[in-house]
Amino acid sequence: MYSGVMSANTSERLIEATRELLWERGYVGTSPRAVQQAAGAGQGSMYHHFSGKPALALAAIRRTAEELRAAAERALDGDGVDGGGDNGGDGDTTAYRRIEAYLLRERDVLRGCPVGRLTMDPEVMASPELRAPVDETLAWLRGRIAGIVQEGVDGGEFAASLDPEQIAATVVATLQGGYVLARATGSPDAFDTAVRGLLALLAPPAATD
* 54 three-state secondary structure: helix
DSSP summary character for residue 52: S
8 Å CB contact between 176 and 98? no
End-to-end CA distance of the chain: 59
Taking the C-alpha atoms of residue 70 and residue 149, their distance in angstroms, rounded to an integer, is 19
pLDDT in tens for each of the 209 residues of the chain?
334 434 559 999 999 999 999 999 999 999 999 999 999 998 888 988 999 999 999 999 999 999 999 999 999 998 655 544 444 444 468 999 999 999 999 999 999 999 999 999 999 999 999 999 999 999 999 999 999 999 999 999 999 999 999 999 999 999 999 999 999 999 999 999 999 999 999 998 754 44
Tell me where in the chain the CATH 1.10.10 domain(s) lie.
Answer: 1-50
pTM, two decimal places = 0.86
The domain defined by 1-50 carries CATH number 1.10.10: yes
* Cα–Cα distance list, 178 to 36, 96, 128 (Å): 34, 20, 27
Q: Please give the CATH number for the structural domain made up of 65-208.
A: 1.10.357.10
